[in-house]
Amino acid sequence: MKKKPARRSSCPINAALESFGDRWSLLIIRDLMFRGRRTYKEFLESDEGIATNILASRLKSLKANGIITTRPDPEDGRRRIYALTKKGLDLAPILVSLVVWASRYERTSMPSALLRRLQDDPNFLANAAERQPN
């Protein structure tokens, strides 16, 4: 009785859902990409209140999927620093699409000027996200 592979579909959307198709992974990516958060503790402090075990499992999964990397903090050995890989940074257009859609249809607090920049200026994100290693 194997795990039933069934999920193997060639649809690219499926491939993406396998990597971050749950409610927490995308929020972690957002924290890394837009909010400059980089450590376990900082992720825990996000408004949404992720549980410690869930956070650990998502970080592991994101790493296994090549979306983030991790390395020890040179200034504080017990701390680890998480960062987006190139593959992870390339998720930016998806995040932007999400934000643009949500801002059109849901009540959110994002100012429309910022939204326009996100849509119109392809370099805005690249500049906003400080350069990640790898």
Partner DNA sequence: CAGGATCCGTTTCGATACTG
Partner DNA sequence: CAGTATCGAAACGGATCCTG
Q: Provide CB contacts within 8 A for 102, sequence distance 6+.
A: 108
Among 2, 5, 6, 10, binds DNA (CB under 7 A): 6
- Closest separation in Å from C-beta 116 to its own copies: 14
32 touches 82 (CB < 8 A) = yes
**Contact between 86 and DNA per CB under 7 A:** no
Q: Does 70 bind DNA (CB under 7 A)?
A: yes
Residue 130 carries which DSSP code?
A: P
> DSSP letter at 80?
E
Q: How many CA atoms lie within 13 A of 120 on its CB side?
A: 6
Regarding 26 and contact with its own copies (CB under 8 A), the answer is yes
* Binding flag, residue 131, DNA (CB under 7 A): no
| Sole residue written with tokens 């990409």 | 33
Q: Binds 60, which of its own copies, DNA, none (CB < 5 to 8 A, cut-off by type)?
A: DNA
Q: Give the residues lining the site for its own copies (CB under 8 A).
A: 6-7, 9-19, 21-23, 26-27, 30, 47-49, 66, 87, 90-91, 93-110
